[in-house]
A and B are shown apart, each in its own frame.
Chain A
């Protein structure tokens, strides 16, 4: 170890790779944000100002952060909270309650969680409360008594806000917003949601108590900014131990972003979605290809990773079907073509298949009805076909109406890729009618 230190932070390559993996994996997987937020400065300022007014001046507020999935809502909130807690007053006073709509699925659980996060279990004890509002008021009241400064501000963060709107009578939301409107305890309610129409979900009385302050995080980013983001996401920070390696790595990242083929890939991804999350998934699969023997990300890696990301899953599954199952799918495709999307049953499919066999007079695929039935049921298990109506438990299996869940082009593409596909089957699929 001492020898390595003597060489001014030159680490062996294995160690460097380990470090790179650690730093970048934390960034991609753990959503470790890197200090500065890009493109949302105004929103950040707005939110910080708002929360500061609650934490320092004792003003009650409510706000909604709205944006699509992976647009950085939670990151924004985390950054703002981090900045807020750097202030002495806020750090000392502010209490935080984090609720998630996925976890707190009803108001009783949510109230328990609030009690727990405010550390008031021993105060509440075995008391019996008449109503939800009474319980919540008691909790907030207890906070007032607990501290010398007569009331401490509480910050409620409701992640997946839209799920809270599905609770019965929206009691929790009503009470929280009611407290923020009337009672003395300073309360800030911050809702985080991905639904743009979240206000339509609220009841009228809840809606009227909400301040209608919304912060929208819509990505209006351009491709140049996207590329810049890719670069900054992949770059190593300045405090990396081996400065030389970091420099080389950053240079390689820069050259990757300038590469024509790589740019093409990034543009394709940009066109399909601009959010950070899907970019992380792509970069993550690139990063996993970096090893000691190959210490940089090459455009070829990126191309490969993007191919696996964008692969059509159904086509992949079609590739693994047996020839009998493939024949059944072609028969279904013909039925769909002839009867214009009418549902079909096994008998019709088998009939269609038999017609093909008669024409070809090739006994190779002559299977008994039960074998065909087994193949058909396997297709159903894979959900490539689905029952047309739910209540068909009573009809016999061979007469149950089904629908094909595949596209014409998907079938044709799968057929092209199918290993050792017999020519007559291929021709049968090509021919327009049966």
Chain B
């Protein structure tokens, strides 16, 4: 059906098979193939391919190299935590395991190039060799020489080799400061809505018609397309929710063609999925279980973030509340909030606020220990003795990462803290001790 892939030197049958496996990527695959040229020809030393996540970069590369049976090494930079692993993998896939064992214990780039040259002189390239680096942005964090050396590998090893870098990040962020051999840039554009519809409609359910599945995908995209364009994520969501979509059919309430009723049924369900399973609040397994339990309302199972509520001792709760108040209120308002007989405070001056200085926008401010204790004694009604346990509770709040210590210069003398919990969390806590926190917050006055 597609005849866009044309290149001399490859069998037509194979090219056809490649084209079949790459829906909506014919243009890119054709461009890539024409850059790669005929197998025995030289190809450009390095090609940099960028595009969004799940736009088919690795897939196109893999299919091309596998189906056309070109000698290649595919390396994921996430796996290669050290350069030694990288070199070993490249030599292993290009020359077999004999070559990889020639590398010394902790190989340098120099060793790699030496071994590579030696091997390639033993069996000279009849075809271009390809080294594909996935997640190439991690190469920037390794040895500074690695990326420039890989980009001019063809020149260094004097072999017909092409390095292909795949990344989500644009090339401008890769360039080292003394420059390097510039690769050819190739962009894989995002799939349009039509493309996504076409690709997702391909994996149909055996017991339903293709049009039915396609209409389901259409509804799914209607809900999720504005948030998510990641093909893999959408496919996952489609697979998860399809059984729910089919439910009315199984109960014989509606017919396949009655799209509106099906949409009415599934839409709130998908909206809920966006808040739960899309954010991984609820795992896919839980989500499937929830769908099976019909009597139970979906979403009744508590997600991950619901479990953030922790049980704290009584004084710890008040310490945390005091820390929150100290972090989010300006110190000049403390007198007004916490002193019983504060003198006269000009109301107009006190209430003069603007959005720019709101702490709930800017984030928590650091406060000294003294202020924390002062607020603590004022919000706790009973008399509290400053025992060791109170102080140890503060430091245990730090270890729980509910508070964070700001400056590390001194542990004992006037340490400064920041409160690292959200408003929802603190209001839940203050509800358990019957403390109305909103009344004491400057931002909400």
Contacts and interface: CB of A to CB of B under 8 A. Distances in A.
Interface of A: 14, 17-18, 21-22, 25-26, 28-31, 69, 74, 100-105, 109, 112-113, 116, 162-163, 194-195, 277-278, 281, 284-285, 288-289, 291-293, 308-309, 311, 313-314, 316-317, 319-324, 345, 347-348, 351, 364-365, 367-368, 370-371, 374-375, 381-383, 394-396, 398-399, 419-420
Contacts of B279: 370-371, 374
A317 B42 contact: no
Contacts of B149: 102-103
A291 B6 contact: yes
A162 B42 CA distance: 30
Nearest to B160: A30
B109 interface: yes
A322 B42 contact: no
Given A25-B37, A288-B35, A319 B189 contact: yes
Given A28-B44, A103-B145, 20 more contacts: A29-B45, A102-B145, A102-B149, A105-B145, A113-B114, A116-B114, A277-B181, A285-B35, A292-B8, A309-B185, A316-B170, A317-B50, A317-B170, A319-B189, A320-B55, A320-B190, A347-B360, A371-B279, A375-B227, A394-B420
A105 B182 contact: no
A71 B427 CA distance: 66
Interface string B213-250: 00000000000011111000000000000000000000
B38 A21 contact: yes
Main secondary structure of the interface of A (DSSP, over half): helix
Contacts of A25: 37, 41-43
Contacts of B180: 69
A113 B110 contact: yes
Q: Which 10 residue pairs of A and B lie closest in terms of their CB atoms, listed nearest first?
A: A399-B363, A320-B190, A313-B170, A288-B34, A103-B110, A320-B52, A29-B42, A102-B149, A25-B42, A323-B226
A377 B216 CA distance: 29
B275 interface: yes
A18 B8 contact: yes
Contacts of A383: 169-170, 173
Contact of A163 (B51, B145, B179): B145
B42 to A, nearest CB: 4
Contacts of B185: 308-309, 311, 313
Given A103-B110, A291-B6, A319-B190, A277 B182 contact: yes
Nearest to A32: B42
B262 to A, nearest CB: 22
A382 B35 contact: no
Given A288-B35, A399-B362, A313 B187 contact: yes
B330 interface: no
Contact of A370 (B9, B43, B305): B305
B387 interface: no
Contacts of B168: 381-382
B172 A313 contact: yes
A388 to B, nearest CB: 12
A244 B288 CA distance: 70
Given A105-B145, A288-B37, A320-B52, A371 B278 contact: yes
Contacts of B56: none
B179 A69 contact: yes
A289 B173 contact: no
B118 to A, nearest CB: 11
Contacts of A368: 275
Contacts of B6: 291, 293
A291 B8 contact: yes
A18 B182 contact: no
B102 interface: no
B361 interface: yes
30 contacts: A17-B8, A18-B9, A22-B40, A22-B42, A25-B41, A26-B42, A69-B180, A100-B156, A102-B149, A105-B143, A116-B114, A285-B35, A291-B7, A291-B8, A308-B186, A316-B187, A319-B190, A321-B229, A324-B227, A347-B361, A347-B362, A351-B355, A367-B227, A370-B279, A371-B275, A383-B173, A394-B418, A399-B362, A419-B192, A420-B193
A285 to B, nearest CB: 7
Nearest to B281: A370
B362 A317 contact: no
B8 A396 contact: no
A324 B226 contact: yes
B420 A396 contact: yes
B284 interface: no
Contacts of B108: 103, 105, 109
Contacts of A314: 170, 172
Contacts of A370: 275, 279, 281, 305
Contacts of B228: 322
Nearest to A312: B170
A322 B226 contact: yes
A281 B187 contact: no
Nearest to A285: B184
B67 interface: no
A31 B55 contact: no
Interface in B102-126: 108-110, 113-114
A221 B9 CA distance: 39
Contacts of B360: 347
B155 interface: yes
Contacts of A324: 226-227
B38 A18 contact: yes
Contacts of B51: 320
Contacts of B227: 322-324, 367, 371, 375
A391 B190 CA distance: 34
A353 to B, nearest CB: 13
A14 B192 contact: no
Contacts of A288: 31, 34-35, 37
Given A28-B44, A29-B45, A351-B361, A21 B37 contact: yes
Nearest to A373: B279
Contacts of B155: 31, 74
A297 to B, nearest CB: 13
B2 interface: no
Interface string B156-195: 1000000000001111110000111110111101101100
B148 interface: yes
Nearest to A284: B44
A397 to B, nearest CB: 10
B63 interface: no
B92 to A, nearest CB: 21
B201 interface: no
Contacts of A101: 145
A358 B171 CA distance: 38
Interface string B5-47: 0111100000000000000000000010011011011111100
A218 to B, nearest CB: 16
Given A285-B184, A288-B34, A30 B178 contact: no
Nearest to A290: B34
B3 to A, nearest CB: 11
Contacts of A292: 8
B68 interface: no
Contacts of B154: 29-30
A322 B41 contact: no
B9 A313 contact: no
A384 B156 CA distance: 34
B89 interface: no
A113 B281 CA distance: 56
A326 to B, nearest CB: 10
A375 B182 CA distance: 32
Given A25-B42, A105-B145, A284-B184, A395 B363 contact: yes
Nearest to B111: A109
Central interface residue in B31, B34, B154, by most chain A CB within 10 Å: B34
Nearest to A405: B173
B172 A322 contact: no
